[in-house]
Structure 1
């Protein structure tokens, strides 16, 4: 009988303890119902605010020159930030300040770990974002960067796609493009062509300069709004060197190499017609001449080659 009474007593004590605990939880829950309702309402308010801010910021940013990819990223980040602020408000209303502190500390640790793990990816994303904002180039521009030259075929956040003139596609990480020099040959819509030609010491230099100007001015495809330039540069080993310059309007002429090709042909024809001597380079003379002490000179005669 005593054992039965002891068991009944222990059962009663356990029951009373559980009942008191459940009652305390129920009372706490009843007291927190207004806070739960307030938290739910606040979260819904911030969710609506996030959607509204995302929609309005998207409309506003579309009026700027920022690319569509950057706009989507910015509006998405804005929406997430607003929702996170709402979550922290809700946790504060529910008296879960310690949870908020733990979440912030955990987010900091996770962010630090991710920054080390995805350092290159993050750098490329940030560099791509800065390139999209500054816009130093656009699709279709002729650029030269990281020892590659070609036409930009695609721009995304992480990389720049360039189609080289050899028909190859080169994908360069945004970090490499952002941190290193880049030449954009399309920005100003014009390109200067410069090359050097040597003439014999025995030729009349004034006549040579005048003939060179005439030859350049008749080059097809050159920009006629700019004057051609002809300057004697220096005295070489076997020739007096002449710098020739002319401009090309890229909106009218796309093939710059063809313009230079025509310029060289015009120079060669006009010099040959007027018996202007274009010497061999010194190294070529040493290879072809039987008397090195008297270097031979190539004279372009007015004859068919």
Structure 2
């Protein structure tokens, strides 16, 4: 009997609890419906705002990656605000505070765990805003030279002139010196040449200047400069400098090659000598005797039939 009485008492308590939950559910049902409606409306508003902002995003930034990031943050921010309002309607304010605290702790932990990824991401955002280069530019950075194929919020992809693809982290590019060869669309070529000491230097200047007039891609608005700058070991050295239009690396390479060909032909036609390196050998002769005297002594010994060496051996 005691067992049956305990069971009935337990069932009664459980029933009372269920009735209390049912009464609370009935009371909270309007708020629950309002919260669900608020969440649905939040999704609609967030999608509408994202699509509307996407139509005007390209007008403010030429980086599609940056536009997509902004739209994603905007969409996520609106959803979070809507969810927090829905929880407030359900009188779950403490849950909202706990969620915010949890998000802060998780964000701090992730920041330490993925600091390099975060640094690349932030560097990518700064690069996208400043735009020091764009896709198609020829750049040199971190000992790599090539054409930019792709710019993302994590890496910059560079195709080298020899064909390899290099993926450089944005942090590495942002923190190190970078040379952009395409920003102005022009580039100067400096050719180092040496001529014989016997040549007329002013005549050489005229010949070189005339030879470079028709070089490929040369900018006719910029003067050709032929400047002597050093007395070399076997030649007088000068630099021929001129400017060319520059879009691709082949523009620079082909113009430089054409200039070398034209200078060589002009020198051949005008009998201007490009000397070979000359070296003077100094033999240290024992006792200070001159080399020609030593040679005469050796020749005389051979002619007289006496072999060299001690005691005729």
Query: Aligned partners of 2:61, 2:9: CA distance in 1, in Å?
Result: 74
1:44-55 equivalences in 2 (<5 Å): 44-55=40-51
Identify the match of residue 90 of structure 2 among 89, 94, 110: 94
Quote the residue 1:190 is aligned against. 186
Tell me, yes or no, if the aligned pair for 2:154 and 2:169 is still in contact at 8 Å: yes
Preserved CA contact (<8 Å) 2:138 2:249: no
Name 2:19's counterpart in structure 1.
23
TM-fit CA distance, 1:31 = 2.5
Which of 264, 270, 284 is residue 266 of structure 2 equivalent to? 270
Q: What does residue 287 of structure 2 align with?
A: none
Closer/same/farther in 2, CA of residues 68 and 59 from structure 1, 3 Å limit = same
Alignment partner of 1:145 is 2:120: no
User: Per the alignment, in what secondary structure is the counterpart of residue 212 of structure 2?
Assistant: helix
Q: Which runs of 4+ in 1 moved over 6 A?
A: none
Give the alignment partner of residue 285 of structure 1, picking from 278, 287, 290: 278
Task: Give the aligned CA root-mean-square deviation in angstroms.
Answer: 2.6
Q: State the distance in 2 between where 1:268 and 1:21 align.
A: 104
Further displaced range: 118-127 or 187-196: 118-127
Do the aligned partners of residues 275 and 48 (structure 1) sit closer, same or farther apart at CA in structure 2, a change above 3 Å counting?
Answer: same
**Equivalent residue number for residue 207 of structure 1:** 203
2-structure distance, mates of 1:115, 1:261:
52
| Distance in 1 between residues matched to 2:132 and 2:90, nearest whole Å | 50
What's the counterpart of residue 33 of structure 2? 37
Deviations 1:164-212 (A, max 9, x none): 2212222222222222222221221111101222333443322222222
Computing the radius of gyration from Cα coordinates, the structure with the larger value is 2
Deviation of 1:60 after TM superposition, in Å, equals 0.9
Structure 2 CA distance for aligned equivalents of residues 291 and 207 of structure 1: 35
TM-score, normalized by length of structure 2?
0.80
Cα separation, 1, equivalents of 2:271 and 2:239? 20
Structure 1: which 5+ runs fail to align? Answer: 293-305
Shift of 1:7: 4.9
Partner of 1:120: 116
Scaled by the length of structure 1, the TM-score of the pair is 0.81
Q: What is the DSSP-based 3-state SS (H/G/I as helix, E as strand, rest coil) of the residue aligned with 1:63?
A: helix
2:95 corresponds to 1:107: no
Q: How many angstroms does 1:254 deviate by? A: 4.5
Measured after TM superposition, the shift of residue 253 of structure 1 is 9.5
How far off its partner does 1:251 sit?
A: 5.4
Determine if the alignment matches structure 1 residue 171 to structure 2 residue 164: no
- Secondary structure of 2:94's aligned partner: helix
Residue-pair matches, total: 283
Cα drift, residue 222 of structure 1: 1.5
Contact 1:148–1:164 under 8 Å retained in 2:
yes
Q: Does the residue aligned with 1:193 lie in a helix, a strand or coil?
A: strand
Q: Does 1:227 align with 2:220?
A: no
Tell me, which stretches of 5 or more residues in structure 2 are unaligned?
A: 284-313
- Seen in structure 2, the aligned counterparts of structure 1 residues 117 and 97 have a Cα distance that, compared at 3 Å, is same
Contact 2:188 2:242 in 1 (8 A): yes
State the match for 1:75 in structure 2: 71
